[in-house]
Amino acid sequence: MSKARAGPGAAYRLPPHTSTSVSAISGPAHWVHVFSIYAVAGVHEMWSDGRTLWGGPRFQARTAVQQQVGQTNGAAAAGAEAGTAAQQAEARAAERIAELRQIGDQAAVEENDAAGIRRRFEKGDGKKTSSMDLPQVLTLFGIKVEGGKSPTPAQLRKAYREALLRFHPDRQRGKPFKERIIAEERFKIVNKKMDVYHGT
């Protein structure tokens, strides 16, 4: 398109494919924006300093490039998010493995400590109770037995139930580790002595 400095009454010559001319707009000198209508293609273009601003082929090409760039950036962002999620999953898995190892180490330490407590108990109260009957064992473990050394069956059952409630493993939760192990050993001995008592 031919362009000239604007001036009062000046005329502008449009591109060859147009059949209409426009007059200059009065005012300061500047490039006048001219619209031309393509009758065949039906495409609207606007020139401003020689650049297509809207609707023209160059604008459409530039828009297509921008869309491609946007799609590429979106795909890159999605890939980055996926990579970050994978890294977070790996970190959580590693943390969980470390926790399980720590729990396993603690369990091994507790088992070793429990074995030591049981050995000491066996050398002490365990050895003493080997030659005792049920009433004597209950008394040794701090259970009051009515009737002394010769309780009635009802009195002995009462003392036995009290021993079960005191030494049952399910009732040792929250107590120190050593007390729990000793209670378990006493629970075993009381039950064994009760079996012997019923067998006599």
pLDDT tens digits, one per residue of 109-151 = 888 889 999 999 999 999 999 999 999 999 999 999 998 888 9
Percentage of the chain modeled with pLDDT above 70: 58
Q: What is the CA radius of gyration of the chain?
A: 49
Contacts for 9 with CB less than 8 Å, ≥ 6 apart: 23, 24, 26
Long-range contacts (CB closer than 8 Å, 24 or more residues apart) made by 139-146: 141/167, 141/186, 141/190, 142/166
pLDDT at 72: 64
Enter the tokens of residue 128.
């003493």
DSSP tag of 12: E
pLDDT at 63: 66
The answer to whether domain 132-200 has CATH 3.40.50.1110 is no
Name the band, by pLDDT with cuts 50, 70 and 90, for residue 196. Answer: confident
- 183-195 pLDDT, tens digit each: 999 999 999 999 9
- Spatial distance between the Cα atoms of 189 and 183, rounded to a whole number of angstroms: 10
pLDDT at 120: 95
Q: Using DSSP, state whether 31 is helix, strand or coil.
A: coil
pLDDT at 90: 86
